[in-house]
């Protein structure tokens, strides 16, 4: 395939789906078991360090192609350190978007579009079951208590965007009347980015743009369904996103 800048790259004809899914589900199971067995106080520093490294990596990938390497490294270290010390809501969201979009863009280079789609469909089923049986809510609540929630945190009040997450003991609320934040899982951004990147490397930017737009439509539909039909109750975001991106993949 020839990229817009003229570079010619090889796109994988096949990619292994089984090991990828096994790894993802195993990671979710291990994380849940760890949160259940080990006290949060013992995990807090370790998980926050891992998140700081992830956020630094995302900032590095997002900047290294536009600025000199030493400056990209300095920016990455500064962002990761700042989040670790002062995890403000807006900073958390910014770094999470950089991290998950970078993950999607990097790994999308190495898998085919239909492999990426199969991953999204499988995780959509997992997402539905995890929310239905409250495993996802339980895990998100545990992670939020140690300020290591891999999700976008969207406050109801504009003044809350500059709020320090360390000062908030309770972020996850099931009751819509008591909820001060809306939560969108990082995977709901990362996996559509993965598919978009995979389509871009396989077919070019126009089909990738169609996938990106339909993924965004799927995300908007989540909030419409939640507001109109579920009255604000928690719902899995990946199933609608998977449905719209599947339609996009079938028509490109």
DSSP state of 12: P
202 CB contacts (<8 Å, ≥6 apart)? 1, 11, 112, 113
Hey, which of 154-158, 186-190, 242-246 has the most confident mean pLDDT?
A: 242-246
Question: Among 188, 194, 10, 193, which residue's Cα sits nearest to residue 115?
Answer: 194
Confidence (pLDDT) at 72: 94
Average pLDDT over the chain reads 84
**67: DSSP letter:** S
- What's the pTM value of the predicted model, to 2 decimals? 0.80
CA–CA dist 116, 200 (Å, integer)? 12
Q: Is the pLDDT of residue 13 over 60?
A: no
Alpha-carbon distance 201 to 199, whole Å? 6
- Compute the distance between CA of residue 140 and CA of residue 31 in angstroms, rounded to an integer: 11
pLDDT digits (tens, 9 = 90+) for 117-150: 999 999 999 899 888 888 888 888 878 887 788 8
Torsion angle of the four alpha carbons 91, 93, 95, 99, in this order, in degrees rounded to the nearest 10: 170
Q: What angle do CA 40, 42, 45 make, to 5 degrees?
A: 95
What is d(CA 48, CA 44) in angstroms, rounded to the nearest whole number?
6
């Amino acid at each position: 395939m020839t990229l817009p800048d003229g570079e010619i790259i090889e796109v994988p004809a096949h990619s292994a789906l089984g090991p990828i899914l096994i790894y993802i589900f195993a990671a979710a199971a291990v994380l849940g078991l760890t949160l259940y067995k080990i006290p949060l106080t013992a995990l807090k520093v370790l998980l926050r360090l891992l998140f700081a490294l992830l956020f630094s990596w995302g900032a590095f990938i997002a900047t290294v192609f536009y600025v000199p390497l030493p400056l990209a490294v300095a920016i990455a270290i500064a962002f990761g350190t700042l989040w670790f010390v002062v995890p403000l809501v807006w900073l958390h969201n910014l770094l999470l978007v950089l991290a998950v979009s970078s993950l999607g863009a990097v790994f999308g280079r190495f898998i085919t579009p239909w492999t990426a789609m199969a991953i999204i469909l499988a995780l959509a089923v997992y997402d539905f079951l995890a929310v239905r049986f409250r495993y996802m809510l339980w895990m998100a609540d545990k992670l939020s208590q140690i300020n290591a929630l891999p999700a976008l945190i969207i406050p109801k009040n504009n003044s809350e965007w500059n709020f320090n997450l360390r000062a908030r003991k309770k972020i996850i609320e099931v009751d819509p009347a008591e909820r001060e934040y809306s939560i969108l899982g990082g995977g709901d951004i990362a996996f559509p980015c993965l598919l978009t990147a995979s389509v871009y490397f396989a077919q070019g930017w126009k089909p990738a743009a169609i996938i990106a737009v339909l993924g965004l439509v799927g995300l908007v539909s989540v909030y419409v369904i939640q507001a109109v039909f579920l009255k604000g109750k928690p719902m899995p975001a990946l199933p609608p996103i998977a449905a719209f991106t599947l339609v996009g993949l079938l028509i490109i």
